[in-house]
């Protein structure tokens, strides 16, 4: 313990104070003293602590992979495209309900403007991000994951179905990027093929249903 404290540039007493606090807060001991033996005893990390360290590294790796994916998406943006046409839509929301089943968590969220969204995560993600009913979050939805249909023709089982109005249309080669107004200052984008756009005969001002699956929603704690 003395060597570990020295490497961390803290005193031996401070190290033990921190360990005592962690042991009190943890449901099981993290560090224990061992007396006797040929080496005169010492300090050990418990199996529970080793398990927690492993979980931390797994969560850290998942978080880093997620950040790299977001960075790659934002890096592909063209300088002349406005915020409303990002590869990801970023929508402000509040968690209204949380249902937990084993390691799976289902969130019911209310977007600014009153529309509802369903999202999923695992229990570790919920714990790490301290997500609770009433938490303010951002909902990220990739444009490619959002499909659209004329409201009178909708017959799809997606968990998330939002009534929207087309406010902008950007055509580039064989892709079409639709900007869909959810409320006065919140927009969702959908990237569809030119063929689908032509088949649906879409125009600015059309009322359309935007649809995406719950597992296509990524949550970010408000402030990240």
8 Å CB contact between 92 and 138: yes
Give the angle 98-66-143 at the CA atoms, nearest 5°.
80
Structural domain including 10 reads 2-74
Same structural domain, 111 and 186: yes
Query: Looking at the whole model, is its pTM more than 0.95?
Result: no
Q: Classify residue 101 by burial, with Cβ atoms within 10 Å: 0-12, 13-18, 19+.
A: exposed
Q: Given 39, 74, 109, which residue is the final one in a domain?
A: 74
Question: How many Å apart are CA 190 and CA 177, to the nearest integer?
Answer: 6
Inform me whether the pLDDT recorded for 155 exceeds 60.
Answer: no
Based on the domain organization, do 201 and 216 belong to the same domain? Answer: yes
Q: Are residues 59 and 87 in the same domain?
A: no
Same domain, yes or no, for 103 and 62?
Answer: no
Closest CA to 192 of 214, 169, 213: 169
24 phi and psi angles, rounded to 5 deg? -70, -40
- Residue with the bigger pLDDT between 75 and 46: it is 46
Same domain, 94 and 128: yes
Are residues 197 and 118 part of one domain? Answer: yes
Structure tokens at 174: 């064989």
Summarize pLDDT for 72-122 with one digit per residue, the tens.
666 655 444 444 445 788 899 999 999 998 889 999 999 988 899 999 998
Number of compact structural domains in the chain: 2
Do residues 49 and 30 make contact, with C-beta atoms less than 8 angstroms apart?
yes
**Domain shared by 44 and 150, yes or no:** no
Q: Which of 74, 106, 127 is the last residue of a domain?
A: 74
Q: Which two tokens stand for residue 57?
A: 């590294």
Average pLDDT over residues 149-162: 73
92 and 70 in one domain? no
Are residues 203 and 103 both part of a single domain?
yes
Q: How confident is residue 168, by pLDDT bands cut at 50, 70 and 90?
A: very high
Q: Do 8 and 47 fall within a single domain?
A: yes
Question: Which of 74, 104, 120 corresponds to the end of one domain?
Answer: 74
């Amino acid at each position: 313990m003395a060597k570990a404290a020295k490497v961390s540039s803290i005193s031996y007493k401070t190290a033990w104070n921190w360990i005592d606090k962690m042991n009190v807060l943890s449901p099981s001991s993290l560090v224990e003293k061992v007396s006797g033996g040929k080496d005169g005893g010492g300090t050990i990390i418990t199996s529970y602590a080793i398990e927690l360290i492993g979980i931390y590294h797994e969560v850290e790796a998942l978080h880093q992979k997620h950040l790299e994916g977001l960075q790659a998406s934002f890096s592909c943006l063209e300088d002349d495209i406005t915020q409303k046409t990002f590869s990801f839509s970023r929508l402000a929301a509040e968690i209204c309900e949380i249902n937990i089943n084993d390691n799976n968590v289902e969130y019911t969220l209310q977007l600014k403007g009153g529309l509802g969204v369903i999202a999923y995560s695992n229990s570790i993600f919920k714990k790490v991000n301290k997500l609770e009913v009433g938490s303010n979050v951002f909902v990220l939805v990739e444009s490619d994951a959002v499909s659209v249909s004329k409201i009178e023709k909708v017959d799809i089982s997606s968990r998330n179905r939002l009534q929207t109005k087309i406010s902008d249309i950007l055509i580039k080669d064989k892709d079409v990027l639709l900007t869909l107004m959810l409320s006065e200052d919140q927009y969702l984008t959908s990237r569809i093929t030119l063929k689908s756009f032509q088949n649906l005969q879409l125009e600015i001002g059309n009322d359309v249903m935007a649809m995406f699956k719950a597992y296509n929603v990524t949550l970010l704690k408000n402030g990240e």
